[in-house]
Structure 1
Amino acid sequence: MTIRYPIFKNFKCRFYSTSSDLKAVLKTVIPKKLRLFEHVKKDLSSHQIDIQTVGSVIGGMRGNKAMFWDASSVDPNKGVTFHGLSIEECQDILPKSKMELNDPKSELLPESMLWFLLTGCIPSQEQIDDFSKTLAEHAQLPEYVNKVLDSLPKSLHPMTQLSIAISLLNNESVFAKAYERGIPKDEAWEYVFEDVINLISKLPAIVGKIYSNTYYNGKELGVINKDKDWSYNLSSLIGFTVDDSINHKNLSRSQSKDFVNLVRLYCALHGDHEGGNVSAHATHLVGSSLSDPYLSYSAGIQGLAGPLHGLAAQEVVRFILEMKDTLDGEVDNDAKIEEYLWKRLNSKRVIPGYGHGVLRKPDPRFTAIIKFGNNRPEEFAKDRNFQLVKKLSQIAPGVLAKHGKTKNPFPNVDSSSGILFYHYGLKETLFFTVIFGASRSLGPLSQLIWDRIYGLPIERPTSMDLKTLASL
């Protein structure tokens, strides 16, 4: 393997173990990380990190440096990085599908990102091939989960169904059972690890079941293929891969590896986004009480379902479609686009897909998604929605900067991702967040394992009443 980036010299563990067992690799990483953690805990606990303000207390704790999260971080200028690596670096070095190694358009696998987030080690192709197979072998849902999902009304929000299904798997929790019988504290992580891998393995089947029940009356849209990767199986189970055993003639959509690669890219990019976002923080918070990973991530899913967190991609699609109609399809008319944006802003409506709580430059995830479309001109050159998204990213920042009420006038990942799903035929915009929910499992659940390795305590901040704040 060629090492292209100087930063790799800081990651000796990346080539430390050739084991195909993720848990075995993780065990080689733990001792060094624990020594560092003990040093921080013992020698640096009294060091002050930041000065808290009243504004941060009443403003959603924004900017408070009060949470430990190890695998990813978000810098205002660099965007999200994973163990210090940029998105582009991860795309270059993390393994892809074994079936498409010679395809320059093939994208990194979410299971590669999961391995990296959890261990800090770059996995080999062989390790990921084996890991993909392990996930597929444990993908089938227990019958009681299928029965409960089948009993739910089709009108029930897909995210509610997702949360229910994940909670039901609590019945499978080896951690909960081990804790009940009594286990040493330093062994807890091993049971949490088993739950995490089991949950992530089953997410494609959960997503597929919810999609089928909600939109296709329970019709079988695909099957789990144990020789395929996690994203392929997720795509298959919502009817977006070609399988000779399934009749797809009634589905009006693209069944191609390009959609599978979009799912791979999307899920890898959305896997982690530091710990302060609602879905990650909720998972961490509930997990700090020693709730098992199923209950913990179910809470994260419910947070992700909130309009201010996970629903932006569907709002962007509605916005783009409405805008294109208003423009009479003139998606390259700069003057009309600018006029439309000012009219919207002056009516006190936001431009969805723009702005970010931390970033002060264009979101590199947006750049990666746009690059995905640009690399497939035969697919997207004539897609007026995609072209409008690109044109909007050139015009909207200037309008928003002049408007002056947005700290970051640049596009975020939500401004592009939904339109690509829509292009391939995934028109049920309400379902975008369910795929987001599957992808976001990678980071918070990896961190949950490390929370137990470190033996972090229950999270319990001190609250302040209004009278106290007013007296400061």
Structure 2
Amino acid sequence: MASILRTSRTRPVWSALARARFSSTAPKNTTLKERLAELIPIELENVKRVRAEHGKKAFGPVIVDQLYGGMRGLPALIWDGSVLDADEGIRFRGKTIPECQELLPKAPGGEEPLPEGLFWLLVTGEIPTQEQVTELSKDWAARSAIPEFVEEILDRCPPTLHPMSQFSLAVTALNHNSAFAKAYQDGVSKKEYWGPTFEDSMDLIAKLPNIAGRIYRNVFGQGKLPAIDPAKDYSHNLATLLGFGDNHAFVELMRLYITIHSDHEGGNVSAHTGKLVGSALSDPFLAFAASLNGLAGPLHGLANQEVLTWLTKMQAKIGANASNEAVKEYVWATLKGGQVVPGYGHAVLRKTDPRYTAQREFALKHLPDDPLFKLVGQIYNIVPDILLEAGKAKNPWPNVDAHSGVLLTHYGMTQMQFYTVLFGVSRAFGVASQLIWDRALGAPLERPKSYSTQAIEKMFKDKA
């Protein structure tokens, strides 16, 4: 919501209005939509002020290597839900992962933050009350049913079709009942775009557990899908639909997993794709389906699957309790074979990913003796020095993907092809919250300028 400027120390500097709002808890006795309606006019004025004061200022240089290098580091987007600092890691509306773990409401008997609270934070910048989170859980449960024709689409998919392809199909089909698409066709005012976008976003998030559960049970033969329990929170229902609802630790893992995977700034493939497609006024279902197709790539959401494959191959080759020397030899063999060490390095981060740290702390608490977890910890102490010695990475530290698959495997979810679906359920929180604000603030169609190699050569030749 609030524009973020950077000091020389790369610490976020917030406007007085934003500081006041971001440090507060949500007002009691308001729903999320009611609170959003109160915040929109305030933020419209804030954006207007920021553009008036800074709109003509240069944000930074653009060099040719950035154009050829996948726009790496190119400042080009407004993304309000989270900001990624190279040294500090991710902050959700100004709050670190440990702060979210401490401040966000929790389920009775639980220790991890409820994703419902994280979504409220992403949308409003405020910490909701326990009662507000409970009402949000009930709202999502009430919206959770998917149309019968979508169930039929999923049931007709061959089990050999990748779960992410099925996921994208189902989300795309939800467009059939889009509130925004209908409102736009009926001539809704631009100022009111955010309302039906909010409704679609709530429906989207609410229906994802049923979609994910149906895919999981169809592909991996887990039997009939149980019903959503309106008295349970989002993560508990998701775990139940996947067949793990009776395992308290797995339910807690889902709460942590969704929270830390929900958003990671706007430049990653899934987030940027959702924003780009949404800028064409495609409804949230179409925008998020596009996000899922980007997330399905091996350089993005499939990375955790590749990590687990690499770990299990290593364990099979050198044994479950291998020496440090044996691990080092395997890592060097991976690099000399022209491959990367999966789960290490990040496009932005220059330290250990806080999301990795959160998962490691969870594992130390719940599964300290798991053989694969021990191997992950052993690798953590070995790989960074090897990568630095080999000159293979500016950031030799682990990212979120280095750990998540090990946790899921420990609790019996061994079907690696499904892991990215869980990532997709999580990422909907960040994409949807930004789409709501893009509609509220009247974000324009994205249309950057492109150049050919010949045009670049001519440009600099003419300047010579």
- For residues 202-221 of structure 1, the C-alpha deviation after alignment (integer angstroms, 9 at most, x for no partner) is 0000000111111117x215
Please say if 1:409 is aligned against 2:400: no
The corresponding residue for 2:281 is 290
1:465 to 452, 455, 463: 452
C-alpha offsets along residues 132-158 of structure 1, whole Å, 9 cap, x if unaligned? 111111111111111111111111111
In structure 1, the partner of 2:230 is 226
Identify the match of residue 245 of structure 2 among 235, 241, 244: 241
**2:380 is matched with which residue?**
393
1:425 partnered with 2:409: no
Native 8 Å contact 2:26 2:129 kept in 1: no
Counterpart position of 1:140: 145
Question: How far is the alpha carbon of 1:468 from its aligned partner?
Answer: 1.3
Return the alpha-carbon distance in structure 2 between the equivalents of residues 451 and 12 of structure 1: 19
Asked whether the equivalents of residues 19 and 25 of structure 1 are also in contact (C-alpha less than 8 Å), the reply is no
In the alignment, what sits opposite 1:275? 266
> 1:3 is matched with which residue?
none
Q: Distance in 1 between matches of 2:227 and 2:117?
A: 22
Q: Tell me how far apart the structure 2 counterparts of residues 267 and 224 of structure 1 sit (CA, whole Å).
A: 18
Which position in structure 2 is the counterpart of 1:434?
421
Q: Is 1:345 paired with 2:350?
A: no
Q: List runs of 5+ in structure 2 lacking aligned partners.
A: 1-13
Corresponding residue for 1:46? Answer: 56
Structure 1 residue 274: deviation in Å? 0.4
Q: Considering only aligned residues, what root-mean-square deviation do their CA atoms show, in Å?
A: 1.6
Which residue does the alignment assign to 1:364? 354
Q: Which residue of 1 aligns with 2:317?
A: 326
Quick one: distance in 2 between partners of 1:64 and 1:467? Answer: 21
1:112-131 equivalences in 2 (<5 Å): 112-131=117-136
TM-score, structure 1 normalization: 0.92
String of CA shifts for 1:406-461, please: whole Å, max 9, x gaps.
11100111000110000100010010000000000001110000001110110000
Per-residue CA shift, 1:283-331, capped at 9, x if unaligned? 0000000000000000000000011110011111111111112112224
Which whole-Å CA distance do the structure 1 matches of 2:180 and 2:213 have between them? 26
1:426, 1:11 → 2: CA distance?
43
Q: Specify the code of the residue in structure 2 equivalent to 1:441.
A: A
Contact 2:265–2:271 (CA under 8 A) maintained in structure 1: yes
Q: Which residue of structure 1 lines up, in the alignment, with residue 156 of structure 2? A: 151
Q: Is the 8 A contact 2:214 2:225 kept in 1?
A: no
Instruction: Give secondary structure in 1 for the equivalent of 2:91.
Output: strand
Name the CA distance, whole Å, in 1 between partners of 2:159 and 2:337.
Answer: 35
Give the equivalent residue in structure 2 for 1:252.
none
Residues 5-404 of structure 1 mapped to structure 2, 5 A cutoff: 10-12=19-21, 14-15=24-25, 17-97=27-107, 99-100=108-109, 103=110, 106-216=111-221, 219-242=223-246, 256-331=247-322, 333-376=323-366, 380-404=367-391
| Residues 105-149 of structure 1, C-alpha deviations (whole Å, 9 max, x = no match) | x21011111110000010011110111111111111111111111
Q: SS of 1:80's equivalent?
A: strand
Kindly provide the amino acid, as one letter, of the partner of residue 127 in structure 2: I
Superposed displacement of residue 18, structure 1: 1.1
Amino acid in the other structure paired with 2:365: N
Separation of aligned partners in 2, 1:386 and 1:81? 26
- SS of the residue corresponding to residue 139 of structure 1 reads coil
Separation of aligned partners in 2, 1:40 and 1:86: 25
CA distance in 2, matches of 1:329, 1:70: 44
- Quote how far apart the aligned CAs of 1:10 are: 2.0
Name the SS for the 2:281 alignment partner.
Answer: coil
CA, structure 1 residues 466+262, in 2 after alignment: closer, same or farther (shift >3 Å)?
same
* Structure 2: distance between partners of 1:328 and 1:163: 38
The question of whether the paired residues in 2 share the 8 Å contact of 1:20 and 1:130 is answered with no
Q: Does 1:455 align with 2:455?
A: no
Preserved contact between residue 20 and residue 131 of structure 1 (Cα < 8 Å) = no
Moved more, 462-471 or 120-129: 462-471
CA contact (8 A) 2:26 2:128 kept: no
Paired with 1:284 and 1:415, the residues of 2 have a C-alpha distance of 27
Distance (Å, rounded) in 2 between the aligned partners of 1:129 and 1:234: 16
- Contact 2:112–2:255 (CA<8 Å) still a contact in 1? yes
Q: Aligned-pair distance for 1:20?
A: 4.2
Letter in 1 for 2:234: W
Whole-angstrom CA distance in 2 between matches of 1:220 and 1:419: 27
> How high is the sequence identity, in percent, across the aligned residues?
44
Secondary structure in 1 matching 2:106? coil
Unaligned segments of structure 1, at least 5 residues? 1-6, 243-255
1:165–1:206 contact (8 Å) kept in structure 2 = yes
Q: With structure 2 as the length reference, what TM-score do the two structures score?
A: 0.93
Deviation at 1:222, TM superposition (A): 3.2
What CA distance in whole angstroms lies between the structure 1 residues aligned with 2:25 and 2:335?
Answer: 52
3-state SS, counterpart of residue 441 of structure 1: helix
